[in-house]
Amino acid sequence: MFVFEDIIKIDDRGMQTLLKEVANEKLLLALKTANDDIKEKIFRNLSQRAANLLKEDLETMGPARLSDVEAAQQEIVNAARRLETEGKILISRGGAEDALV
């Protein structure tokens, strides 16, 4: 089962594709409770300007309902699944089927 924390397993090119599909407001909300590894992966795959703006918005963001944060994270997961189904991104699940041949 693919969950929000698994977006760390998407390669950088796939992450950039995913980020183009996600509205900034949803991304901001989804990152509210995200761990530092996920935040760093996302910041690394945005332009420096966009990453700085997102960091500033996170710092100044007020409280948010956990249900809203989880809904935003689920939207990102759904977008990632759709992009994988369409063959636009690859999500590494660590299994033999992910081995490069």
Does the pTM surpass 0.95? The reply is: no
49-90 pLDDT tens trace: 999 999 999 999 999 999 999 999 999 999 999 999 999 998
Matching CATH number, 4-93, of 3.30.1330.60, 3.40.50.150, 1.10.220.30, 1.10.3720.10: 1.10.220.30
Cα–Cα–Cα angle for 25, 31, 37, rounded to 5 degrees: 145
What is the structure's pLDDT at 94? 66
Instruction: Calculate mean pLDDT across residues 42-46.
Output: 97
Per-domain boundaries in the chain: 4-93
